[in-house]
Amino acid sequence: MAAISALTEELESVTNELHAVDIQIQELLEKQQELIQKKNILTNQIKQHFEDSDAGESSEWDSSPATWKKEDFPWSGKVKEVLQNVFKLQRFRLLQLETINVTMSGKDVFLVMPTGGGKSLCYQLPALCSDDYKALGILKRQFPNTALMGLTATATSHVLKDAQKILCVEKCFTFTASFNRPNLYYEIRQKPSNTEDFIEDIVKLINGRYKGQSGIIYCFSQKDSEQVTVSLQKLGIQAGAYHANMEPEDKTKVHRRWSANEIQVVVATVAFGMGIDKPDVRFVIHHSMSKSIENYYQESGRAGRDDMRADCILYYGFGDIFRISSMVVMENVGQQKLYEMVSYCQNISKCRRVLIAQHFDEVWNSEACNRMCDNCCKDISCERKNVTAYCRDLIKILKQAEDLNEKLTPLKLIDSWMGKGAAKLRVAGVAPPKLPREDLEKIIAHFLLQQYLKEDYSFTAYATISYLKIGPKANLLNNEAHVITMQVVKPTQSCFKIESSETCHSEGADKRREEKNSGNFQKSANTLQRSKNTGTKKRKIDDAGDESL
C-alpha cells in the first residue's frame, strides 16, 4: 500500500507540473500572437512610408508632418491672423498647423485625430483664408484642382484606403494622431438587473463624484432616454432628454440649457453627436454599450475636451448584446463589430487603451496608461479556468431543444441551464451550475464570441428576435481532448474587487466605495478538476482570447 501511495503522490505531482507547463505554453502563445500583430502593423507602416515616398519624388510630396509644421509659407501670416482674431486662440494643437498648411498649398490630406482633438478648426480656418476651399463639398472629379480634406476620429488603415479610393484622392497626405486620450479614465461596470438599483447607482455617481459637474448619459433607444430622464428628474437631477424624434426647437433648447449649465445631464441617443463641443464634460456614462468600438470611442470622446480629467463609464449587461444584435443584424459587419465591443467589455485584464489602440491598428504600451483605466487599477490576479464542461452541457440543452423543434432565447437557455423554466427544455444529467446568474451570462457570452454558440434570428412584422443555437466550433468538442479555457479572477483573492477611478487617481478626493461583483469560480473549478482524466495527457487548446468573468 505504501508503494501505491507513493506512486499516486508522484502521479499527482507530475500532473500538476504538466498543468503548469500547459499554462506557460499558453502564455507564450499569447505573447507570440501579440508580437505577430505588432510586427504586421509595423511592417504595414513601413510599407506605407515606402509607398508614400514612391508616390512623388520631389520635396513637395514629403509627407512627414515636420515638413509642414512651419510658419514661413506665403499664407502663414493670414493663417495666424485668423487663428488669433477670429477663433481667439494663441496656438495650434497637435497636427492642426500641418494639416492647414497642406490644404492651403492646394494638396489633399486625410487627418485621423481623436474626438475632441481639434478637427473642426482644420477645415474652418482654411475656409476663411482660401476662396477655393469653400468648394470642398464638391466631388473631386468635378473640381480636380480644389484641395480636399477628410477628417475622422475612427478610421482604421483599411477604411482609410477605401475612403481614398472612393473620393479619388489616393495620392494624398495622411496624418494620424494617436488615438490615446490620456485625460480620459475608462471603466466597465456590471449593469444591475434591477432598474431601480441601476438608476440609484447612476444617481449616486452624479450626486457624489460628479456633484455640480456636466455630463452625458448615452442610451440605446429613444424610449430609454426618456425613461431615464424622468427617473433622474424625480430624484432631483437636472436632466434633459435628447433624441432624433424630438422637435428641432426642443433639441436646441436642451442643448443650449446644457451648454449654459442650466441642466447638468443630457440623456441622449447617438443623435447627440456632431457639433457637441462642450469642453468641461466631466463624465460620459453609457446606459447600454455601443454597437461598435468606433461608436464607443466617438461617444466617450465627448468627455474632457478641455484636457482635464474626465470619466467614461460603460454599464455592460448580457441582455444588451441581443437587443443591439437584433438591430444591427442587417448591417454588413454589424454583428462582427458588436462582438468586438462585447469582447472589450468582458475583458478583465488588458489595459483598455491597448484594446482600443489594437482595434485602430496602433501599437501602444500599457505602461503609458498611468492607471487611467479600470483594468490597470485592479489589485487582483487572473488565471485561466477550464470551462469545457459548461459548454458541453449547453450544447446538450440546445441539441434537445432542436430535436423538439424549440427555439431558445438567451433567457430560456439560462433558465434551462439553471433548472428553471419549462420542464421539457431541461436535460437529464445536466446539473445546474453553482454560480451566480451574472457569471453564467458571462460564460455564455464567452462561448458566443468563441463560436461554440451562435445567434439565429426570427423576423416578425413587429420585431427581430434573437435565439441561440449550436455554433460552428461545437463539433470540436467531439474530441475528448479539446479544452476551452476562460480567464477569471483567482479564487484566493476577493472576487471581482475593483478599485474605482477616484481610488486610482484621487488627486486629494475622498476614497470612494469599493465595489464587488458577485461570482466565485472555486467550487466549479474543483468539480472540473476532479472530472479530469489524470491518466491521459490532454492537448490544451486555448480559445479564451482575453474575455473573462
Rg (alpha carbons) of the chain, rounded to whole number = 27
| Residue found by looking up cell 424625480 in the block | 234
Laid out side by side, the sheet with 239-242 consists of: 184-190, 310-316, 281-286, 214-218, 265-268, 239-242
User: Crossing angle for the helix pair 352-359 and 334-346, nearest 10 degrees?
Assistant: 160
- Tell me, letter by letter, the H, E, C secondary structure of 316-332: ECHHHHHHHHHHHCCCC
Beta strands in 345-444, from DSSP E residues, in sequence order:
382-386
Rounded CA-CA distance 180/173 in Å is: 22
How many CB atoms within 10 Å of residue 211? 9
CA distance 194 to 145: 59
Distances (CA, A) of 270 to 214, 241, 362: 18, 12, 26
Exposure string for 59-76, b = 16+ CB within 10 A, e = fewer: eeeebebeebeeeeeebe
d(CA 504, CA 251): 37
Q: Which residues on neighbouring strands pair with residue 314, listed in sequence order? A: 188, 286
Active site residues: 119
DSSP, residue by residue, 254-289: HHHHHHTTSSSEEEE-TTS-TT---TTEEEEEESS-
| Alpha carbon distance 110, 154 (integer Å) | 12
Q: Specify whether the CB–CB gap between 232 and 203 falls below 8 A.
A: yes
